[in-house]
Amino acid sequence: MASPVEIENGTIVGGFAHAQVFALADKIVDAVKSGAIKKFFVMAGCDGRMKSRSYYTEFAEKLPKDTVILTAGCAKYRYNKLELGDIGGIPRVLDAGQCNDSYSLAVIALKLKEIFEMNDINELPIAYNIAWYEQKAVIVLLALLSLGVKNIHLGPSLPAFLSPNVVNVLVENFGIAGIGTVDEDMKMFLG
C-alpha cells in the first residue's frame, strides 16, 4: 500500500478555554469598550457531511471584521482554517475545544456579564448560531437554557425528536429558532 499523501497543511490556533480567555480579559474588555469588537458569535456544535452544513463556513466568511467567533465542538472544522485574522492580537476564532468544552463558552459569557455589570446574560453582545446534529448536544442546549440564554438559533435542521408541543415551549419561552440563508441571518443577527 502506498504511503499517505498530504492533502493540506497549515496551522490552526486553539486552546481558548475560559482560563486562557480570562488571561486576555483586559485586552478583550478594552476591545469591546473601544468598539473594536462589536459582537461575539457562539458558533459551537456539531458537524456533518451534508452540503447544507457549508452554511457555517459561509456565515463565518461573511461576518464583519469586528466580530469574534466563540466555538467548541466539531462545527469549528467548517471555519477554523479560514484566514479571518485578529482584532488587536485577539484571534477572531476563539476555540475552546470539543463539545464537552462548551462549558468554557458559558463561563466566558458569565464572566463578561459580571465584568460589564449586567443583570441579564442576554444583554451581552453575544449571538448564538449553533450547529445541531447529535443528541448529546441536548445537554449543551439545556445548559444554555438553564442559564437563561434566549434567542438561540439552531441549524441546519432542528432536532428530529422534538414534538410540536416541546418546540412551542422552546419558541415561546426561549426564542429558539432555526436558521435561514446566510444573508438573511446576517441581517437578523447584525440588524
Asked, for residue 123, whether it belongs to a domain, the answer is: yes
Whichever domain contains 69, its CATH number is 3.40.50.2030
Asked, for residue 137, whether it belongs to a domain, the answer is: yes
Burial of residue 122, with CB atoms counted within 10 A of its CB: 0-12 exposed, 13-18 middle, 19 or more buried: middle
Asked, for residue 14, whether it belongs to a domain, the answer is: no
* pLDDT digits (tens), the chain, 191 positions: 999 998 888 777 777 777 788 888 899 999 999 999 999 999 988 887 778 789 999 999 999 999 999 998 888 888 988 999 999 999 999 998 888 788 888 899 999 999 999 999 999 999 999 888 766 777 788 888 999 999 999 988 777 778 889 889 999 999 999 999 999 999 999 98
Asked, for residue 13, whether it belongs to a domain, the answer is: no
> What pLDDT is attached to residue 24?
85
pTM comes to 0.89
Tell me the C-alpha distance between 10 and 2, whole Å: 23
Q: How far apart are the first and last CA of the chain?
A: 55
Count of domains forming the chain? 1
Q: Which residue has the cell 445537554?
A: 139
Asked, for residue 134, whether it belongs to a domain, the answer is: yes
Nearest residue to 141 via CA among 155, 18, 3? 155
Nearest residue to 124 via CA among 114, 135, 137, 134? 114
Asked, for residue 7, whether it belongs to a domain, the answer is: no
Asked, for residue 25, whether it belongs to a domain, the answer is: no
Quote the domain boundaries for residue 112. 38-190
> What pLDDT is attached to residue 143?
86
C-alpha distances out from residue 52 to 37, 71, 120, 177, 180, Å: 29, 19, 33, 17, 11
> What pLDDT is attached to residue 91?
93
Asked, for residue 15, whether it belongs to a domain, the answer is: no
Q: Annotate 17-31 with b (16+ C-beta within 10 A) or e (fewer).
A: bbeebeeeeebbeeb
The rounded Cα 79 to chain-centroid distance in angstroms is 11
